[in-house]
Amino acid sequence: MAVNLSLPKAKEILTIKGIRLATANAGIKKNGSSDLVLIEICKGSTVSAIYTQNAFCAAPVTIAKLHQGEVTPRYLLVNSGNANAGTGQQGLKTAIACCEAIASQVNEITQAVLPFSTGVIGEQLPLDKVKGAIPGLVAALGAERWLEAAQAIMTTDTVAKAVSKQVKLAGKLITVTGIAKGSGMIRPDMATMLSYIATDAAIAQNILDLMLKKASAQSFNRISVDGDTSTNDACVLMATGKANNVLLTDFDTSDSQTLYKAIASISQQLAHAVVRDGEGATKFITVEVEQGTDTEECRQVAYTIAHSPLVKTALFASDPNWGRILAAVGRSGLNDFDLTQVAIYLDDVCVIKNGEPAVNYTEALGQQVMNQEEIMIRVILKRGKATDTIWTCDFSYDYVKINAEYRT
Amino acid sequence: MAVNLSLPKAKEILTIKGIRLATANAGIKKNGSSDLVLIEICKGSTVSAIYTQNAFCAAPVTIAKLHQGEVTPRYLLVNSGNANAGTGQQGLKTAIACCEAIASQVNEITQAVLPFSTGVIGEQLPLDKVKGAIPGLVAALGAERWLEAAQAIMTTDTVAKAVSKQVKLAGKLITVTGIAKGSGMIRPDMATMLSYIATDAAIAQNILDLMLKKASAQSFNRISVDGDTSTNDACVLMATGKANNVLLTDFDTSDSQTLYKAIASISQQLAHAVVRDGEGATKFITVEVEQGTDTEECRQVAYTIAHSPLVKTALFASDPNWGRILAAVGRSGLNDFDLTQVAIYLDDVCVIKNGEPAVNYTEALGQQVMNQEEIMIRVILKRGKATDTIWTCDFSYDYVKINAEYRT
């Protein structure tokens, strides 16, 4: 069902010097596919991470934040099939025990391991299954396993999400590769579902942090499938320095900007892939709100449209029922909102101008746009200079089916 | 599909002295059923009304507010099948012309008529059809037609909503009767879908306003089907004074309190009926949030749960997937939120205590509650003394079907 999203070819996903990965089938996922991923980050790397803002964050998020505050991470352990969320003290103990099991196998301190989980909320993670798989997991570490890893972190995803890009910094070839998972409970807030992005560039910690923050703001933090912020969102950016470029210590140099653009592009492609593979999605929707007083109010209007079940079901039905978009704009809560200034477009078709039905609009014109798989909804507020863009999908029978049957 | 909601018996719906109603089939609705209602309010009545807060309010809402500011309303003209929203200047002209047509037929000034519309957004209301039906409509005015009127204002509703109640004020028998419509685009904000409530009591204007404001705050403003605030919401409360009670001029007397309770009860029954008949609803859900610092934060948490597509699809599936409730509480945006204080109950079954899975909880206990048609989700925040309650329904295949096919 994914909208214009296909499995990347193995040769398109490039290895990153200094990063090795492995996957295993620990028997956590009910469908019997791989459910455990280990990512090894070479010594001397810098690592940045952002996490969900959900107050009920999962046990692994709590532990990952704690560990990351103490040492630079060397290993990321990710399981799918079980979120280890809503699991109380026992869940925290299990998350730590998973890290300990890796640490003792690779002779590292426990804090050098960050745990991540995704899957069903409210069930204890089976520690024994994880432990049993660890020796094989460590033995299997290899540079080539990015696509396998993308596959193993999937839950309701239908397509594995991975993307690579290369840029040159002062003649040095630099590679960036990222993977992500996510399909439902998607409305990231400061972070996202799970995503791991690595580069062989050398980047100072503060610059890496800034790059991740900025890239995710324009990608993972601008998407929504269903408005439900996950308890387990996390995004990690790793820089191994193995490409031997001059360490990037200033964000405003042309080298930093070149690399940042590559990282931002990868983040956005992964974020879009999550929406394209949104639960039950049949359409990929861009909502752009222009000429607001600030980006925050543009985003507020955009998300009100993106989260409206009425707009989303009309999109599913390819019904140019623009009245629902108008109603969503109207209830989005802007102060001193003057609707006589508003214009609404479906792609290039003007539907509303100065708050009135556009003179040249016809149902046939609207229908033509709505029949497409990719649609741009553009709202012009005419009260300032700010713009913001978010991406979402429609709301189909299959969304209900997937989420009604999720635990059966 | 409505949840424990059946058509009221005709004899249960009591007439109100001083109120006459009529319905007609003007040919606005595609399904050929009645789509026009006229309510006549006798001279000497007091009338209060509240309207949608949607900035894109419909033409009839704009005109009704304008007219109501000038004289006490004598006639309410309601059409279903077309919302006259998003219709620009032409829509305003049509709304006024509808009022003029009634006014000239009954020898009143145009401002004495309030227009109301509900139905598809973005199409012009066919004025000729409305005008053509008006002579017959006026001729048909009668006291008994409440249930017919409830039927004629329906759009996607499956059951007509009407309720009556009687109380005694100092020996005088007082009757209150109300009707409402609403099923989708339901998240009223200061007002509701459409509702008309009348009593034969004599109530001073300021007391009537207060009663409507308070009653709707605990009923229409505490429900949500899909989070989408309509462009056309309105609620009118009329007091004809024909019961010859002593004019109520103080809200705090026991007579006022007795009558207020009857009005509040009718408002709540009508609001619940809207949720029970929510588009595609198979469950009636009460969300109660207790021990918050103020009712506003309780409401914020309650609506976050009520609007979560993941919670709503789990409810549809009768799946005790309480992790989704927990995730919704966690993303509801409370300041300084201490999750180790939180408890969550499904009816009387404790699921989370002190932020941890409750020791005695079993999936079987949760399943038993979820199998019911009526479910209470109770969240205890343990950070204050405020409580708030809202009502909502689940999210089913039929919601998608109804809204995907709405205009076909």
The winner for highest mean pLDDT among A105-109, A117-121, B179-183, B204-208 is: A105-109
Give A342 to chain B, closest Cα distance, Å. 10
- Chain B residues in contact with A307 by the CB 8 A cut-off are 227
Instruction: Give yes or no for a contact between B208 and B259, defined as CB atoms under 8 angstroms apart.
Output: no
Helix (H) or strand (E) holding A300: helix A295-307
The values of phi and psi at residue B277, to 5°, are -100, 20
Could you say which residues from 266 to 325 on chain A have a Cβ atom under 8 Å away from some Cβ of chain B? 307-310, 313-314, 316-317, 319, 321-324
Q: What per-residue string of b and e applies to A196-235 under the rule 16 or more CB within 10 Å gives b? A: bbbbbbbbbeebbbbbbeebbeebbbbbbbbbbbbbbbbb
- B34 pLDDT higher than 70: yes
Q: Which amino acid is at A380?
A: I
User: pLDDT value at position A408?
Assistant: 59
The CA-based angle B369-B370-B376, given to 5 degrees, is 65
Residue of A nearest to B53 (CA): A331
Segment B217-227 shows an average pLDDT of 81
- Chain B residues in contact with A85 by the CB 8 A cut-off are 323, 326-327
Give the confidence band of B404 by pLDDT, cuts at 50, 70, 90: confident
| Mean of the per-residue pLDDT values of chain B | 91
Q: What is the 3-state secondary structure (H, E, C) of A12-57?
A: HCCCCCCEEEEEECCCCCCCCCCCEEEEEECCCCEEEEEECCCCCC
- Just give the CATH number of A284-404: 3.10.20.340
Could you say which residues from 141 to 180 on chain B have a Cβ atom under 8 Å away from some Cβ of chain A? none
Could you say which residues from 92 to 131 on chain B have a Cβ atom under 8 Å away from some Cβ of chain A? 120-122
The percent of chain B in helix, strand and coil, each rounded to the nearest 5, is: 35, 25, 40
- A16 pLDDT higher than 70: yes
Per-residue pLDDT reduced to its tens digit, A141-196: 999 999 999 999 998 888 999 999 999 998 889 999 999 888 877 766 544 578 88
Tally helices (H) and strands (E) across chain A. 11, 16
Choose the weakest-confidence range: A122-131, A193-202, A270-279, B223-232. Answer: B223-232
**Interface mutation target, options A51, A53, A54, A56, chain B, most CBs of B under 10 Å:** A56
User: pLDDT value at position B407?
Assistant: 65
Q: What are the strands, taking DSSP E only, across A105-253?
A: 113-120, 161-169, 172-181, 194-199, 223-224, 234-239
Choose the weakest-confidence range: B236-240, B335-339, B386-390. Answer: B335-339
Nearest to A86 among B229, B319, B357 (CB): B357
Q: Please, how many CA atoms are within 13 Å of residue B279, restricted to the half-sphere of its CB?
A: 27
User: pLDDT value at position B271?
Assistant: 86
- B190 pLDDT higher than 50: no
Helices B254-276 + B205-217 axis angle, to 10: 40
Residue of B nearest to A229 (CA): B331
Helix (H) or strand (E) holding B151: helix B146-152
DSSP string, A165-189: EEEEETTEEEEEEEEEE-SSS---S
User: pLDDT value at position A190?
Assistant: 44
**What's the rounded Cα separation, in Å, for the pair A35 and B313?**
26
Segment B254-263 shows an average pLDDT of 93
Structure tokens at A141: 């570490």
Instruction: Give yes or no for a contact between B258 and B171, defined as CB atoms under 8 angstroms apart.
Output: no
User: pLDDT value at position A191?
Assistant: 45
User: Does residue A138 or residue B335 have the better pLDDT?
Assistant: A138
User: pLDDT value at position A386?
Assistant: 96
Choose the weakest-confidence range: B91-100, B106-115, B272-281. Answer: B272-281
Topology adopted by domain B11-276: L-amino peptidase D-ALA esterase/amidase (3.60.70)
Size of interface A-B (CB pairs under 8 A): 203
Is B408 in contact with A319 (Cβ distance < 8 A)? Answer: yes
Q: Domain A10-276 maps to which CATH number in 3.90.1170.30, 3.40.50.2300, 3.60.70.12, 3.10.250.10?
A: 3.60.70.12
Considering the candidates A46, A118, A192, A240, report the single residue annotated as catalytic: A192
User: pLDDT value at position A222?
Assistant: 80
User: pLDDT value at position B156?
Assistant: 84
- B385 pLDDT higher than 70: yes
- Chain A residues in contact with B357 by the CB 8 A cut-off are 86-88, 122
Per-residue pLDDT reduced to its tens digit, A254-283: 999 999 999 999 888 988 888 898 888 999
**What's the rounded Cα separation, in Å, for the pair A208 and B118?**
54
User: pLDDT value at position A225?
Assistant: 79
**B304 belongs to the catalytic site:** no
Segment A83-103 shows an average pLDDT of 95
- A83 pLDDT higher than 80: yes
Q: Walk across the sheet containing B75-82 and list its strands.
A: B19-24, B36-41, B75-82, B113-120
**What's the rounded Cα separation, in Å, for the pair B226 and B282?**
14
**Interface mutation target, options B51, B56, B224, chain A, most CBs of A under 10 Å:** B56
Q: Is B258 exposed, middle or buried (0-12, 13-18, 19+ CB in 10 A)?
A: middle
User: pLDDT value at position A407?
Assistant: 65
- Chain A residues in contact with B407 by the CB 8 A cut-off are 319, 321
- Answer whether B89 touches A (CB < 8 Å): yes
For A78, A277, A285, A346, B359, the CA distances from A370, given in Å and listed in that order, are 39, 19, 10, 8, 51
Per-residue pLDDT reduced to its tens digit, A285-322: 999 999 999 999 999 999 999 999 889 999 999 999 89
Per-residue pLDDT reduced to its tens digit, A34-66: 999 999 999 999 999 988 888 888 899 999 999
The values of phi and psi at residue B242, to 5°, are -75, -10
Give B317 to chain A, closest Cα distance, Å. 5
- B203 pLDDT higher than 60: yes
Start-end of H helices in A38-126: 59-68, 88-106
Instruction: Give yes or no for a contact between A192 and A182, defined as CB atoms under 8 angstroms apart.
Output: yes
Nearest to B309 among A228, A317, A321 (CB): A228
Give A109 to chain B, closest Cα distance, Å. 29
Segment B231-249 shows an average pLDDT of 88
Q: Which of B37, B98, B105 has its CA nearest to residue B63?
A: B98
Is A399 in contact with B396 (Cβ distance < 8 A)? Answer: no
Give the confidence band of B226 by pLDDT, cuts at 50, 70, 90: confident
Give B267 to chain A, closest Cα distance, Å. 23
Percent of chain A's residues with pLDDT above 90: 66
- B157 pLDDT higher than 90: no
Residue of A nearest to B186 (CA): A310
**What's the rounded Cα separation, in Å, for the pair B55 and A337?**
7
| Mean of the per-residue pLDDT values of chain A | 91
The CA-based angle B70-B75-B78, given to 5 degrees, is 110
Q: Which of B89, B150, B56 has its CA nearest to residue B97?
A: B89
Percent of chain B's residues with pLDDT above 90: 66
For A331, A335, A346, B231, the CA distances from B55, given in Å and listed in that order, are 6, 10, 21, 8
- Chain B residues in contact with A321 by the CB 8 A cut-off are 120-122, 406-407
Q: In chain A, which segments carry CATH 3.10.20.340? A: 284-404
Instruction: Give yes or no for a contact between B24 and B137, defined as CB atoms under 8 angstroms apart.
Output: yes
Q: In chain B, which segments carry CATH 3.60.70.12? A: 11-276
Is B327 in contact with A121 (Cβ distance < 8 A)? Answer: yes
User: pLDDT value at position B191?
Assistant: 45
- A227 pLDDT higher than 80: no
Could you say which residues from 387 to 406 on chain B have a Cβ atom under 8 Å away from some Cβ of chain A? 395-397, 399-401, 403-406
- Chain A residues in contact with B350 by the CB 8 A cut-off are none
Is B56 in contact with A408 (Cβ distance < 8 A)? Answer: no
The residues, ordered by sequence, that sit 6+ positions from A263 with a Cβ below 8 Å of its Cβ are: A176, A197, A199, A211, A212, A215, A237
Structure tokens at B42: 């006798």
Nearest to B89 among A86, A356, A397 (CB): A356
**What's the rounded Cα separation, in Å, for the pair A163 and A351?**
37
